[in-house]
């Protein structure tokens, strides 16, 4: 009985410590930015070119393709469903690599356009 109470208190204390330290650190970072005369633009989530929907769509599509490929391999080889899980992970990883390379190319093109304007 006492161990459950101590465990529950420990979990909540840990959460409280993490939350307090997160906000305290964030406040200190922002105060240093203000002290150095810089803006807090880097913290603005809406200003970044976020392609979260593209990333999620690619990941889910590749998981579906990996599932189909894995089931096909399992059917052809009449084996355990290990190929299904492996192909899901491989296809998911490939899609995230493709997304990363797409974003890098997009950022390079954007940087070249900004450099040509200056």
User: Each residue of 13-34: pLDDT tens digit?
Assistant: 999 999 999 999 989 988 898 8
Write down the pLDDT at residue 46: 56
Write down the pLDDT at residue 117: 66
Write down the pLDDT at residue 30: 87
Higher pLDDT, 73 or 39: 73
Handedness of CA 79, 85, 90, 91 (dihedral sign): positive
pLDDT surpassing 60 at residue 47:
no
- Mean confidence (pLDDT) of the chain: 86
Write down the pLDDT at residue 49: 56
In the chain, where the domains are located: 1-45, 49-118
- Distance from C-alpha of 91 to C-alpha of 59, rounded to nearest angstrom: 8
- Distance from C-alpha of 101 to C-alpha of 110, rounded to nearest angstrom: 14
pLDDT surpassing 60 at residue 48:
no
User: Each residue of 57-89: pLDDT tens digit?
Assistant: 999 999 999 999 988 988 888 877 888 888 999
Write down the pLDDT at residue 78: 82
Let me know: does 75 contact 68? Beta carbons within 8 Å.
Answer: no
């Amino acid at each position: 009985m006492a161990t459950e109470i101590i465990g529950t208190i420990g979990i909540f204390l840990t959460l409280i410590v993490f939350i307090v330290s997160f906000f305290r650190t964030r406040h200190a970072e922002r105060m240093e930015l203000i002290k150095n005369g810089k803006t807090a633009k880097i913290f603005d989530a809406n200003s970044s070119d976020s392609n979260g929907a593209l990333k999620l769509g690619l990941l889910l599509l590749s998981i579906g393709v990996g599932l189909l490929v894995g089931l096909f391999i399992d059917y052809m080889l009449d084996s355990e469903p290990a190929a299904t899980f492996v192909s899901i992970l491989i296809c998911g990883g490939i899609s995230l690599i493709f997304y990363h390379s797409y974003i890098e190319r997009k950022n390079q093109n954007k940087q070249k356009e900004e450099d040509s304007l200056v």
